[in-house]
Amino acid sequence: MLDWRNELPALVRAELPAHVADAFDRLPLRPAIRLTPARPGDPVVGRLGGEADLPIGQEWPLRDDGEPEIFVARLDCAVLSAYEVDLELPGSGTLLFFLPRLEEMEEVVRSGRPTVIHVPEGIATAARQVPSHLRHPSEEYEYPLVALTARTILSAPGSYNPAMAEDPAAIADLSRLLWRDEYNGRYLSDIVRRYRGFIPDHQVGGYSDAFQHPLEMSAAHHGHRSPAGTDPYQDPAFLAEARQWVTLLQLDEDDDARMIWGDGAVALWAIRRADLAARDFGATFFTVDGH
User: Helices 188-196 and 7-15: crossing angle, nearest 10°?
Assistant: 140
Are the beta carbons of 79 and 45 closer than 8 angstroms? Answer: yes
* Main-chain phi, psi angles of 144, to 5 degrees: -60, 145
| Sign of the torsion angle spanned by Cα atoms 288, 117, 76, 80 | positive
| pLDDT for the residue numbered 109 | 81
| pLDDT for the residue numbered 193 | 92
pLDDT in tens, 95-146: 999 999 887 888 788 887 899 999 999 999 999 999 998 888 878 889 999 9
Q: Which residues of the chain have pLDDT under 50?
A: none
Are the beta carbons of 206 and 31 closer than 8 angstroms? Answer: yes
Summary mean pLDDT of the chain: 93
**Rounded to an integer, what distance in angstroms lies between the CA atom of residue 267 and that of residue 46?**
17
Are the beta carbons of 43 and 69 closer than 8 angstroms? Answer: no
pTM of the predicted model as reported, rounded to 2 decimal places: 0.94
